[in-house]
Amino acid sequence: DAKTTQPPSMDCAEGRAANLPCNHSTISGNEYVYWYRQIHSQGPQYIIHGLKNNETNEMASLIITEDRKSSTLILPHATLRDTAVYYCIVMGGGGSNYKLTFGKGTLLTVNP
Amino acid sequence: GAVVSQHPSRVICKSGTSVKIECRSLDFQATTMFWYRQFPKKSLMLMATSNEGSKATYEQGVEKDKFLINHASLTLSTLTVTSAHPEDSSFYICSAESQRGGIDTQYFGPGTRLTVL
């Protein structure tokens, strides 16, 4: 699976959009980009995933560049409860037994 | 949808005893479940992949005789930490794989905090 690079930490003001970047320059054609987050002392929470098109759900939007070498997770209106470590993970999505490899992620701190 | 539960959420045991942790997918069936371990201020590390009805596949460095995994049904996997020692104290998290829409997505349980005295 392709490796990802994320900034170790970011700050965001409550109510503003949080834009979390992720580089995955070695991503291959059949690999998806997944985003999870982990609030302190809880299990990771699935946020969103995508292949090449931009995706949006009730939690966030995922913007993937045309060359697929990077992506941005957007939380449109961050709240204090969005403070968490956000993980960007690249993984094949077409079969079973694919493993998620968690890096260090980005600690997003939403400030009042 | 896609809810995964774990039981217990927290357990304290004496050194040398065994502890069983249950992972259940509540609203979907999961052929594959995964077990992770997370030490303080560290990221999640995959321990093993559990497939319903077959033996688990362990990651390098994880002792299969110490961490017994059973996946007897499509909604339940168990992890038993045998002869636990203080160094086994950690946050254990399971996930269950859902194949909705043909795409594999793992949904995680809330985790089990194990403290071995």
pLDDT tens track for B60-75: 999 999 999 999 899 9
pLDDT digits 0-9 by tens, A6-55: 999 999 999 999 999 999 999 988 889 999 999 998 999 999 999 999 99
Cβ-Cβ contacts under 8 Å, B31 against chain A? 96
> What is the gyration radius of the CA atoms in chain B, in angstroms?
14
pLDDT score recorded for residue A47: 96
Neighbours of B17 (CB within 10 A): 12
pLDDT digits 0-9 by tens, B33-53: 999 999 998 999 999 999 888
Question: How does the average pLDDT of chain B come out, rounded?
Answer: 93
pLDDT score recorded for residue A93: 54
- Of B99, B105, B82, B114, nearest to B6 (Cα)? B114
pLDDT higher than 90, residue B110: yes
Three-state DSSP class for B112?
strand
pLDDT digits 0-9 by tens, B1-42: 789 999 999 999 999 999 999 999 999 999 899 999 999 989
pLDDT score recorded for residue B72: 84
Residue of A nearest to B109 (CA): A43
Lowest average pLDDT, out of A1-5, B84-88, B104-108, goes to A1-5
Residue B68 CB burial class (10 angstroms; 0-12, 13-18, ≥19):
middle
pLDDT score recorded for residue A96: 47
Residue of A nearest to B52 (CA): A97
Distance CA B61, CA B63 (A): 6
Give the one of B45, B107, B111 whose C-beta lies nearest to A42's C-beta.
Answer: B111
Distance from CA of A78 to the nearest CA of B (A): 23
Distance from CA of A15 to the nearest CA of B (A): 27
Cβ-Cβ contacts under 8 Å, B2 against chain A? 46
C-beta separation of A6 from A20 below 8 A: yes
Alpha-carbon distance values, A77 to A8, A87, A105 (Å)? 21, 19, 20
pLDDT score recorded for residue B106: 93
Cβ-Cβ contacts under 8 Å, A98 against chain B? 104
DSSP letters spanning B16-39:
T--EEEEEEESSS--SEEEEEEE-
pLDDT higher than 70, residue B101: no
Residue of B nearest to A90 (CA): B105
- What phi and psi values does residue A82 have, to the nearest 5 degrees? -85, -5
pLDDT digits 0-9 by tens, A45-82: 999 999 999 999 999 999 999 999 999 999 999 999 99
pLDDT higher than 60, residue A94: no
Asked if A32's CB is within 8 angstroms of B6's CB, the reply is: no
pLDDT score recorded for residue A1: 59
